[in-house]
Amino acid sequence: MTARIVFLLMIGVMMFTATTQSAIKFTQIQSPNSPLIAFRIILRAGSINDPKGKEGLNALTAMLVANGGTKDLTYSQVVEKLYPWAASFDVQTDQEITTFTGEIHRDHLHDFYKLFSDLLLHPRFDEADFKRVKDDNLNYLQNGLRSTNDEGLGKEALNAFMFEGHPYGTTDVGTVQGITSITLDDVKKYYAETYAQSNLWFGIAGGYPSSLIGEIQNDFAVLPVGQHTDITLPQPKAIKDMEVMVVEKPARAYAVSMGYPIPVTRSDKSYYALLVANSYFGEHRTFNGILMNHLRGDRGLNYGDYSYIEKFTGGLGGAPFPNPNTPLRQQFFSIWLRPVQPENTHFAIRNALWELKNLVDKGLTREDFENTRKFLINYSKLWVSTMSRRLGYQMDSEFYGTDYYIDAIVKELNSLTLDDVNSAIKKYLHPSDIKITVVVDEGKGKQFLDDLTNNTPSPITYDAAKPQNILDQDKLIQIFPLAVNASKSVVVNAKELFEK
Amino acid sequence: MTRLLGVFSLIVFPLVVGIAQGKRDAKESQIFPYTINQVTLDNGLKIVSIPFDSPGIIAYYTVVRTGSRNETEPGKSGFAHFFEHMMFRGTEKYPAAKFNDVLKLMGADNNAFTSDDETVFHTVASSDALESIMDLESDRFMHLKYSEEDFKTEAGAILGEYNKNASNPFQAIEEKIRDTAYTVHTYKHTTMGFLKDIQNMPNQYQYSLTFFDRWYRPENCVVVVVGDFDQEKLITLAKKYYGEWKHGSYTLDVPAERPQQEEKTINLPWKSKTLPTLAIAYHGPAFSDSQIDMAAMNLLSMSVFGETSDLYRKLVVDGQLVESVRGEMEENRDPGLFYVFARIKNRNNIETVRNAIYQAIETAKTEPVSAERLASIKEHMKYRFAMGLDNADHVANNIARFITLTNNPESVNLLYSLYDRVTPDDIMSVAKKYFSQNNRTVLLLTQQEGKQ
């Protein structure tokens, strides 16, 4: 079967990117016939801008701006105004940037714009709103991430472990002690220093009038011009062998995340070679990947097994596509194993790394390469099926200094060779020098780590008869050696994480 | 109402970039702005198709009107969901790997989901993949074939799906509250099923064959196609690929739930650190696009529990006693539950919050919502619905839900007409009818003593 390459949202669209007479950068995708208008307003600051001891200040400030009032309206009055329009003004906090998002029907464009520009320009900073938002962020860490979401916990623990001592090493909402120490005055000061024209990047798409841009420039001129400066990032600490963090909390199955920083982002040519390799190995929530087919499909170990060559958020629940606007200047490779039965977790870790070793040793065949390349060229078109997503991906492309990402995938993949892909795998991917986090049940951490460290065999049994080739592989996998670096490996309680 | 409809006629212009407005020819007064074609094949399979300007893209859904509601036999809970998984295990013509290879070359997004009343298989791909999709889908719906070994292996993935949410207290809350509130109806169990049944699934291979034979039949399924396609070609292909599918004969007898006679309470201790969570469930109406109760309950949920409600302001914004509070009516084929959830910040305030919720409910019985507020809520619902129709997949997903509920995609328009007719008196009336003490089940989840 042949499928033509699909072109979505490419009709009736005019795209502009400009830094105009104000210091605010604009990205525009104008589509006059569209009744919808999407906004993505990026603040070029994120959790990496948090002052030491005030981890969470960037997120708390942004959340208070988006979920507070204006000088004229209380928070409840803002909600009341937005309600009949079915509009919202939300914020996505992240490490490098913070993105305010809104979507509105053109019937209410002007009123909506006035309202959210007031939120951004004249935040109320009410003490009661501050307390509410601060409580929410503390609850997210103390009663959410640490206790009720083992998959998210494993991923955030891996991030903290991989980027220990690095600006990326806290969650984007901060730490418990950091948030606790933040005062409303801290928020006001951070807002005054950071919400400057040079830090703002306005994305707008849909059926808006051209005059809106001038209006925005005019209104936002009340902000100081400022001077955008990128925070200097150190190199992440080198990883030696396999460094393991076992996290204890009540858990009936064990979530696993593993990975390491890689010196490749969308700005690099090698990224596109790795994009193909990764899709073949672990495309998120599809049955294309080696990991998914061998761990879930062949062995029924869990619900899903995927890999990534950059930060990936979203794509759970509904459509499996990644959220835009989480760009990083330093990226990482990771593998995510969804919770595995305790007795099979050691085996599952070995199985994933055994598959990674095979990928590095053998690479892709020509057929694998051609099929995966073709898949990605078509599939990536689906990532931008709404105007807001298209806008977000366009802005990410500008962050990385590339052509529009979806176009870049087509261009780069069409010129890619099998050798490019297999060389990139050899250069950047490896089953050693990796950090692993495993969320295990209370009191089970030490034994689990000992078994990993001692390379205790981890045989697996099945309810069903298995083909001989699977059983033969299992014999190799159950004793696949893992070079655990005991001096760099720890057992911690979940309540110790994200504390400071 | 005239004003609202007038406003709404502006909304319903196509919401996706590049759409030619001339394509729009549905009635101006209806909420759903696109033409809905319906063709039923001789074997009973209905093909619903909706032209939508998504250049080069189609969404292809197959709605099986079978969900966990159909699991009437003891020990078989969770089977509709399990069977959703088995549908990816292949046929003679397209074994699982080949099935996936074809989808991979299309660059398609392909998946499925199950709920109380439905199992839905969905694909988004390029328009010229239409025939290939119909070939794949018709083949597995007619000729699914898997080994007992594959069946047992997939049971591991199901347990994995249960496990991935096991740390989330809301999974346990839903399990407990359904199990308590219902005595005989199959809504007693969640779509995942009772854990003991999930753990016993590897031993149910023979039953799985029976399940497929009963429910994967043309009269119980509806194909929905939305996007850029040719109608004549679609129907020709439907006859070609689905024409041989044989009509089934099984009839379902779901035990009717008798009225609850007294309040039921549950205390659920939780091992991990958590905020106390209060869940209150009242038996409510079944979905209907002609009777006012469900529409009134939906509007009530926003009026009493929504973010512009007095209760929300009192508990979330001003009092800051709870992290969140919400109320929602399940839209199901048979009578579902109206849930109220509140995550309480301090356990000392549990009673205060509970009383505030009960007081808000009592007020809803006696004090009519103002006409202005009701209009604002109705406008919110209409804009929310219209703004959600922003790509072919979202349109198909919306329509699939109505097909599940009534087997009629036009129910979307009927329901929103009903919303227009709901009055403040209707809302008071359903509040009195459903929100009685004898009709409720109350669950309190708190952190187990000694845990932190």
User: What CATH number does residue B112 fall under?
Assistant: 3.30.830.10
Q: What would the two tokens of residue A157 be? A: 């623990």
Question: Pairing state of beta strands B264-270 and A434-440?
Answer: unpaired
Contact A76 B313 (CB under 8 A): yes
- Which of A14, A36, A141 best probes binding to B when mutated, by most B CB atoms within 10 angstroms? A36
Question: B290 and B234, same structural domain?
Answer: no
B14 domain residue, yes or no: no
C-beta atoms of B17 and A105 within 8 A: no
B273 and B148 in a common domain: no
Selecting from B17, B106, B391 the residue whose C-beta is nearest the C-beta of A34 gives B17
Nearest to A8 among B57, B153, B451 (CB): B57
Note whether A220 and A200 are within 8 A (CB): yes
Q: Which of B167, B199, B394, B419 to mutate to test the interface with A (most CBs of A within 10 A)?
A: B167
Helix (H, G, I), strand (E, B) or coil at A487: helix
Question: Two tokens at A128?
Answer: 């009661």
> Average of pLDDT values for A135-146?
96
A10 chain-B contacts, CB cut-off 8 A: 18, 55
A444: chain B residues, CB-CB within 8 Å? none
Q: Does position A11 have pLDDT exceeding 60, yes or no?
A: no
Distance from CA of B98 to the nearest CA of A (A): 11
Q: Which residue of B lies nearest to A127 if distances are taken between CA atoms?
A: B318
Check whether residue B51 and residue B182 sit in a common domain.
Answer: yes
Say yes or no for a CB contact (<8 Å) between A146 and B154.
no
- Structural domain contains residue B275: yes
Distance from CA of B262 to the nearest CA of A (A): 32
Classify residue B216: in a domain, yes or no: yes
Indicate whether B36 belongs to any domain. Answer: no
Are B403 and B325 members of one domain? yes
B228 & B268 share domain? no
Question: CB of A292 within 8 A of CB of A439?
Answer: no
Residue B12 is assigned to a structural domain of this protein: no
Alpha carbons A87 and A113: distance in angstroms, whole number: 11
Rounded distance between C-alpha atoms, residue B62 and residue B122, angstroms = 6
Place of tokens 């009437």: B72
The DSSP symbol for A494 reads G
The confidence score (pLDDT) of residue A88 equals 85
> Do residues B231 and B271 share a domain?
no
pLDDT of residue A18: 58
User: pLDDT category, A424, cuts 50, 70, 90?
Assistant: very high
Burial A124-162 (b: 16+ CB within 10 A, else e): bbeebbbebbbebbbbbbbbbbbbbbbbbbbbbbbbbbb
- State how far the alpha carbon of B149 is from the alpha carbons of A249, B21, B38, B89, B200, in Å: 34, 53, 40, 11, 15
pLDDT band, residue A464 (cuts 50/70/90): confident
Does B195 share its domain with B112? yes
Q: In what order do the strands lie in the sheet with B46-51?
A: B37-40, B46-51, B221-227, B57-64, B119-126, B109-114
Distance in angstroms (rounded) separating the CA atoms of residues B245 and B4? 45
- pLDDT (0 to 100) of residue A318: 82
The pLDDT, as a whole number, for residue A22 is: 81
* Number of domains forming the structure of chain B: 2
pLDDT of residue B27: 53
Predicted pLDDT at A13: 61
Q: CB–CB of A49/A196 below 8 Å?
A: no
Query: How many interchain CB pairs under 8 A, A with B?
Result: 258
* Interatomic CA distance for residues A438 and A342, integer angstroms: 11
Check residue B16 and give its pLDDT: 29
CB A60 within 8 A of CB A137: yes
Question: For A295, which DSSP code?
Answer: I
Instruction: Flag whether residue A297 sits within 8 Å of chain B, measured between CB atoms.
Output: yes
Could you give the CA distance from residue B331 to residue A499 in angstroms, rounded to a whole number? 42
Tens of pLDDT, residue by residue, chain B (452 residues): 222 222 222 233 333 222 233 344 445 579 999 999 999 999 999 999 999 989 999 999 999 999 999 999 999 999 999 999 999 999 999 999 999 999 999 999 999 999 999 999 999 999 999 999 999 999 999 999 999 999 999 999 999 999 999 999 999 999 999 999 999 999 999 999 999 999 999 999 999 999 999 999 999 999 999 999 999 999 999 999 999 999 999 999 999 999 999 999 999 999 999 999 999 999 999 999 999 999 999 999 999 999 999 999 999 999 999 999 999 999 999 999 999 999 999 999 999 999 999 999 999 999 999 999 999 999 999 999 999 999 999 999 999 999 999 999 999 999 999 999 999 999 999 999 999 999 999 999 999 876 54
Among the residue ranges A222-226, A318-322, A427-431, B127-131, the one predicted with the least confidence is: A318-322
Answer yes or no: do A34 and B104 touch at CB < 8 A: no
Q: What is the DSSP letter of B310?
A: H
Closest Cα in chain A to B123: A319
For residue B61, the distance in angstroms to the closest alpha carbon of chain A comes to: 14
Give the Cα separation of A335 and A194 in Å (integer).
Answer: 35
Contact by Cβ (8 Å): A95, A61:
no
User: Chain B within 8 Å of A77 (Cβ-Cβ)?
Assistant: no
Task: Assess A441–B contact: CB distance below 8 Å, yes or no.
Answer: no
Nearest residue to A84 (alpha-carbon basis) of A61, A107, A64: A107
Can you tell me the distance from the alpha carbon of B7 to that of B420, in angstroms, rounded to the nearest whole number?
13
- Name every chain B residue with its beta carbon within 8 A of the beta carbon of A128: 317-318, 320
The per-residue pLDDT for B338 is 98
B297 in Cβ contact with B284 (< 8 Å)? yes
Is B165 found in the same domain as B206? yes
pLDDT value, residue A317? 81
Residues B290 and B334 in one domain: yes
Cα–Cα distance between A85 and A87 in angstroms, integer?
5
Domains and CATH numbers, chain A: 14-220 (3.30.830.10), 242-496 (3.30.830.10)
Beta bridge partners of B119: B64, B114
- Judge whether B396 lies within some domain: yes
Q: Which range is least confidently modeled, A140-144, A158-162, A313-317, B418-422?
A: A313-317
Average pLDDT (A364-375) is 97
How large is the ipTM? Answer: 0.93
In whole numbers, what is the pLDDT of chain A averaged over residues?
95
Interface of A with B in 92-151 (CB under 8 A): 103, 105, 107, 128, 131-132, 135-136, 139, 142-143, 146-151
Residues in A closer than 8 angstroms to B175, CB to CB, are none
Residue A38 with chain B: CB contacts under 8 Å:
none
- The order of strands in the sheet holding B322-329 is B264-270, B440-447, B277-283, B337-344, B322-329
Where would I find the H helices in A268-400? Answer: 269-282, 290-291, 342-362, 366-379, 387-400
Q: Which domain holds residue B142?
A: 41-242
| B154:A86 CB<8 A | no
With residue A408 as reference, give the H or E element that holds it: helix A405-414
Residues B310, B214 within the same domain = no
Report angle CA A225, A230, A236 to the nearest 5 degrees: 165
Pairwise CB contact (< 8 Å): B55 & A148: no
Which region holds residue A422: left if phi is over 0, alpha if psi is between -120 and 50, else beta? alpha
Give the range among A16-25, A159-168, A382-391, B197-206 with minimum mean pLDDT: A16-25
The pLDDT, as a whole number, for residue B23 is 41
8 Å CB contact of A319 and B7? no
Q: Say if residue B108 is in the same domain as residue B227.
A: yes
Task: Give A244's strand partners.
Answer: A436
CA A294 – CA A305 distance, rounded (Å): 9
What does DSSP assign to residue A339?
E
> In this structure, is residue B217 part of a structural domain?
yes
Do A128 and B307 make contact, defined as CB atoms within 8 angstroms?
A: no
Residue A1 to residue B161, Cβ atoms within 8 A = no
Residue B5 lies in a domain: no
CA distance B447 to chain A (A): 10
Mean pLDDT to the nearest integer, A255-280: 98
Give yes or no: residues B361 and B238 share one domain: no
State the CB neighbour count (10 A cutoff) for residue B220: 20
Which of A5, A7, A8 should one mutate to test binding to chain B, selecting the residue with the greatest count of B CBs within 10 A?
A8
